[in-house]
Amino acid sequence: MSETIIAELSRTFTPRDEYKHIALPFTVEGGYRCLKIHYSYFPKDYEDEVRSVELVRGCAERSGTDLDAVYFKNAIPIKNLLTLSIDSPNGAVGCAHRHGNDLEIVIGAEPSYGFLPTEITAGEWRAVVSTHCALSENIDLKITVRGGI
């Protein structure tokens, strides 16, 4: 299958962007059987271990959870979490609310899990990034959209 780069999107997120849904529009000219979207962001791990311990303690205290060494071992490092949803000109296509930070998603007649089978129509599409946890000072996001013929 022949592929053409349709869009290369990038953005840097900071803690001020946490708990937001940020749309990154891109234009599809049409004539494609599918879209292949490569989505990555770095860093995945929040590197400030002292602050991480404070955050985990605070969450545990607010929820009444009893902390032990096993809990801390599993909770740290805290992970940044950015997820991706895709909208076509006709509405929502689906979402990739996965914990990985380097993913390939296929949109089309046989889409990736979490997405509806969709005809690739011409017009403005949107990659919507949801910032569930953005603790690192700079989280660099890159999205490459390829059209498959």
CA distance to 41, 69, 101, 139, per residue, from 56 (Å): 23, 12, 22, 21
What pLDDT sits at residue 69? Answer: 57
- Mean per-residue pLDDT of the chain: 92
Q: What is the pTM of this model?
A: 0.90
What pLDDT sits at residue 53? Answer: 84
Alpha-carbon distance of 32 to 3, in angstroms, equals: 9
Q: Which residues contact 137 (CB under 8 A, 6 or more apart)?
A: 14, 15
Cβ atoms 141, 24 nearer than 8 A: no
SS3 readout for the chain: CCEEEEEEEEEEECHHHCCCEEEEEEEECCCCCEEEEEEEEECCECCCHHHHHHHHHHHHHHHCCCCCHHHHHHHCCCECEEEEEEEECCEEEEEECCCCCEEEEEEECCCCCCECCCCCCCEEEEEEEEEEECCCCCEEEEEEEEEEC
β-sheet bridge partners, residue 96 = 84
Q: Locate the domains of the chain by residue range.
A: 3-44+79-148, 46-77
Cβ atoms 133, 78 nearer than 8 A: yes
pLDDT digits (tens, 9 = 90+) for 42-101: 999 999 988 988 888 887 788 777 776 556 667 888 999 999 999 999 999 999 988 999
Q: Which of 34-38, 56-60, 113-117 has the lowest mean pLDDT?
A: 56-60
CATH code for residues 3-44+79-148 = 2.60.120.380
